[in-house]
Structure 1
Amino acid sequence: MEEVTSALNAHIDQMADLVEKVSAELRAGFTPAYNNFMGFFHAIDWKEPWLVGLLTFHVLLLLVVIFSRKNINFQMCLFLFALVGVYLAERLNVILADNWKSFATQNYFDPHGLFLSVLWSGPLLVIAIVILINTLFSLCYLIVRWKRAELRHRAREARNKQD
C-alpha cells in the first residue's frame, strides 16, 4: 500500500510541475503580445478628429446592423459594403499614406497596412461576421417555419384522404 501511495504522490508532484511549467510558458507567451499591443495603443493619438470620426462610423454602422436585423436584404447590402471596404483597404492605405499631412499629426499608414487593418478592416470584418450570424439565425428560423407549414399541409392532406 505504501508503494501505491508513494507512486501516486510522485505522479501528483510530476503533474503539478508540468502544470506550473505550462502556466509559466503561457504567461511568458502572452507578455510580449500584450506589450506590443500596449505600445501600439499608446502610439496613437486617439483625440485626432479623423480617428474619432472613424470609430464613430464603426459604432454607427454596428448600430445600423443591429437595428436592421429583421431586414435581410438591407443586411446583405451592408454585408457587401463591409466586404468591399475590406477589399479596398490596401488602396485606401496607399491614398492615406500619400495625404496624411492634410488630416493627421503623424503618418500612421505603414507600407504593410497594419494600422489600417486594425482600425478599418478589423471592425468591418467583425460587423460582417455579426451580419453573417444574424443571417444564419434568420435562415434557421425560415427553415423551421417552412417545415412546420409542410407538416401542416401533410396533416391536412391526410385528413382529406380519410374523409
Structure 2
Amino acid sequence: MEELQSALNAHMDQMADLVEKLTAELRSGLNPAYENLVGFFHAIDWKEPWLICLLSFHVALLLLTLLSRKNINFQMCLFLLALGGVYLAERLNSFLAGNWKSFAGQNYFDPRGLFLSVLWSGPLLVIAIIILVNTLFSLCYLIVRWKRAELRHRTRVARGKED
C-alpha cells in the first residue's frame, strides 16, 4: 500500500510540474511567436526584384480570383493550379536552393522550406480557400434555385390535377 501511495505522489508531482510549465507558457502569451515572426520578416530584403515580382504575382492572382468569382469553371482551374503550386513547393525549394546566386542576394531556401512555405505556399493556400468558399456559396445558391423550381413545378402539377 505504501508503494502505491509513493507512486501516486510521484505521479501527482509530475502532473503538477507539467501544469506549472503549461501555465508559465500561457502566461508568456504570444510574445515569443510574435518576436520570431518579426525576426523572420526583418531578415528578408524586401527590395529584391524577385521578391517584388513574387508578391505582385500573388496580388494579381488574388485580384483575378476575386474578379472571376462568377465563373466557376475558371475558378476551378485556378484552384487546381494553386494546389499544384503548393504540391510542387518542395521541388521548387530544392531547385531554388541550388540556383539562388543567380537571382537573390542571400540564400533564403533552407532544407525545411520555411521561407518558401510562408511566401509561396501560404498565399496560394489562402487563394485556394477563397475559391473553395466561393464555390460553396455558389453551390448553396444553386441548390436554393433548384428547390424553388421544384416547388413551382409541383404547384403547377397540383393545379393541373385540380382542373
Distance across 2 between alignment mates of 1:114 and 1:76: 27
Matched letter for residue 138 of structure 2 = S
Equivalent residue, structure 2, for 1:108: 108
Where does residue 131 of structure 1 map in the other structure? 131
After superposition, the C-alpha distances for 1:78-99 in whole angstroms (9 at most, x for unaligned) are: 0000000000000000000000
- Give, as a single letter, the amino acid of the residue that structure 2 aligns with 1:70: K
2:39 aligns to what?
A: 39
Q: Does 1:78 align with 2:87?
A: no
Q: Quick one: which amino acid aligns to residue 123 of structure 1?
A: P
- 1:147 aligned partner: 147
| Alignment partners' CA distance in 1, 2:156 and 2:27 | 64
Q: Which amino acid in the other structure matches residue 62 of structure 1?
A: L
Distance in structure 2 (CA, Å) of the matches to 1:152 and 1:100: 63
Q: Which amino acid letter does the alignment assign opposite residue 46 of structure 1?
A: W
1:159 corresponds to which letter in structure 2? R
Report the Cα offset of residue 136 of structure 1: 0.1
**TM-score, normalization: structure 1?**
0.84
**Over aligned residue pairs, what C-alpha RMSD do you find?**
1.4
Corresponding residue for residue 87 of structure 1: 87
Cα distance in 2 between the residues matched to 1:97 and 1:109: 5
Deviations along 1:51-96, one digit per CA (max 9) or x if unpaired, are: 0000000000000000000000000000000000000000000000
Residues 86 and 141 of structure 1, relative CA distance in 2, 3 Å threshold: same
**Within 5 A, what are the aligned runs for 1:10-29?**
26=26, 28-29=28-29
Q: Matches of 2:65 and 2:27 in 1, distance apart? A: 37
CA distance in 2, matches of 1:32, 1:25: 10
| Equivalent pairs, count | 142
Find runs of 4+ consecutive structure 1 residues off by over 3 angstroms.
Answer: 22-27
Partner Cα separation in structure 2 for residue 64 and residue 119 of structure 1 = 19
Percent identical pairs in the alignment equals 80
Q: Name the residue aligned to 2:53.
A: 53
Unaligned runs of 5+ in 2: 1-21
CA distance in 2, matches of 1:27, 1:148: 54
Post-superposition shift, 1:151? 0.1
Question: Are residues 104 and 59 of structure 1, via their aligned partners in 2, closer, same or farther at CA, if it must alter by over 3 Å?
Answer: same
| TM-score, structure 2 as length reference | 0.84
